């Protein structure tokens, strides 16, 4: 009887290990980014090299704003108050990259933030 309890416990532990998602198969990192009239919230977005990230960007301000990460050639359309956009990609370089809002398209950002990509810990 004791041996079968240990066997059952072992099977449960093994099943837990097998059914626990590994980072390679975990879903994309999801981040909500708000644009308001003073900047981004959060002002720094963290990502992992070669791992998918999904950013849901919402303009919660009273003016048009825009979201871009020029290094990755990500440029949203101008977002009027209340508008949103979804950005999905896998960063291919580590480092700190500028996020900005430049609704005028003149490369004179109204505010900036940082998109930070760390190396894959595997």
Can you list the domains of the chain with their CATH numbers? 28-118 (2.60.40.420)
| pLDDT tens per residue, range 80-114 | 999 999 999 999 999 999 999 988 777 788 899 99
* Structure confidence at residue 18 (pLDDT): 41
Confidence of residue 13 (pLDDT cuts 50, 70, 90): low
What value, to the nearest 5°, has the Cα angle with vertex 92 and ends 86 and 98?
A: 65
> Residue 14 above 60 pLDDT?
no
| pLDDT tens per residue, range 29-87 | 999 999 999 999 999 999 999 999 999 999 999 999 999 999 999 999 999 999 999 99
* Structure confidence at residue 24 (pLDDT): 55
The pTM of this model reads: 0.74
Mean pLDDT of 4-26: 51
**Taking all residues of the chain, what is their mean pLDDT, rounded to a whole number?**
84
What is the DSSP secondary-structure string of 51-89?
A: S-EEEEEEE-SSS-B--EEGGGTEEPPPB-TT-EEEEEE
Residue 47 and residue 101: Cα distance in Å, rounded?
19
Q: In this predicted model, which residue has the larger pLDDT, 20 or 70?
A: 70
* Structure confidence at residue 17 (pLDDT): 42
């Amino acid at each position: 009887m004791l041996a079968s309890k240990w066997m059952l416990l072992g099977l449960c532990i093994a099943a837990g290990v097998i059914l626990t998602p590994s980072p390679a198969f975990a879903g994309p990192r999801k981040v909500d980014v708000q644009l308001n009239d003073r900047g981004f919230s959060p002002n720094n977005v963290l990502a992992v090299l070669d791992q998918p990230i999904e950013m849901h960007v919402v303009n919660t301000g009273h003016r048009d704003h825009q979201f871009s990460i020029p290094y990755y050639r990500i440029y949203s359309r101008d977002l009027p108050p209340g508008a949103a956009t979804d950005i999905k990609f896998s960063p291919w370089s580590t480092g700190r990259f500028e996020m900005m809002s430049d609704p005028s398209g003149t490369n004179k950002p109204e505010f900036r933030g940082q998109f930070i990509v760390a190396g894959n810990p595997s």
